[in-house]
Amino acid sequence: MPFVIWLTGLSGSGKSTVARHLKEALKKEKRPVYQLDGDVLRAGLCSDLGFSREDRAENNRRMREVAKILFDAGVVVIVSAISPFREDRALNRAAFPAGRYVEVFVDTPLKICEARDVKGLYAKARAGLIREFTGIDSPYEPPENPELRLDGAHLGMEEMSEKVLEYLRERGLLRNAALQERA
């Protein structure tokens, strides 16, 4: 049974790392799974887009459409993308059947994201070299009712990944690990 996990949060919050952990766990279950990463899509399919509100909406729409294609093909889709606006995330949710879309808020404070800034993006944004950067001069609207909120200030990447897997098991989207071992 396919489903979509949409990880949202600031740049550097841990979305992509958690997504990679989830992808590996699902592969071990022999589930068809694909990770759509916002950075990868921005470099290819969405390379013609900037960071205006309109371009961000179009970027989100394209990710959603690719996720729908994969979902319709029976693939579990893990999207890791900032997706800063509630309106766009509501459209994502509406595109999938109830119970098959899981919004996960990787809630990592800006200070921690900036400290992790491996690409130097926050530093460039603070210096005015990047405009409309989420969390600096463009807003991030935290989800009001995500299926799951991960505390990026206190949990490690593997712990956050395990919380998502626990949630999926509780909702019947994944088999219980104990049952799996007996099979």
Architecture of the domain defined by 4-182: 3-Layer(aba) Sandwich (3.40)
Distance of CA 77 to the CA centre of its chain: 10
13, 16, 83, 161: which one is catalytic? Answer: 83
Tell me the two tokens of residue 99.
């119970």
What digits encode the pLDDT tens for the residues 39-83? 888 888 888 888 888 999 999 999 999 999 999 999 999 999 999
Residue 21 and residue 163 in contact, taking contact as beta carbons nearer than 8 Å: no
Question: Does the pLDDT at position 181 exceed 50?
Answer: no
- For residue 119, the model assigns a pLDDT of 85
63 by DSSP, 3-state: which? helix
Question: Does the pLDDT at position 143 exceed 50?
Answer: yes
How far is residue 145's CA from residue 166's CA, in Å, rounded to a whole number? 18
Does the annotation count 83 as an active-site position? Answer: yes
pTM of the predicted structure, to 2 decimals: 0.91
Say which residue, 42 or 150, is predicted with more confidence: 150
What digits encode the pLDDT tens for the residues 73-126? 999 999 999 999 999 999 999 999 999 999 999 999 999 999 988 889 999 999
Sheet holding 101-107, edge to edge: 33-37, 76-80, 4-8, 101-107, 148-151
Question: Does the pLDDT at position 179 exceed 50?
Answer: no
Which one, of 144, 143, 140, lies nearest residue 53 by Cα?
140
- For residue 75, the model assigns a pLDDT of 97
Question: Does the pLDDT at position 173 exceed 80?
Answer: yes
How far is residue 2's CA from residue 13's CA, in Å, rounded to a whole number? 26
Query: 146 phi and psi, to 5 degrees?
Result: -70, 160
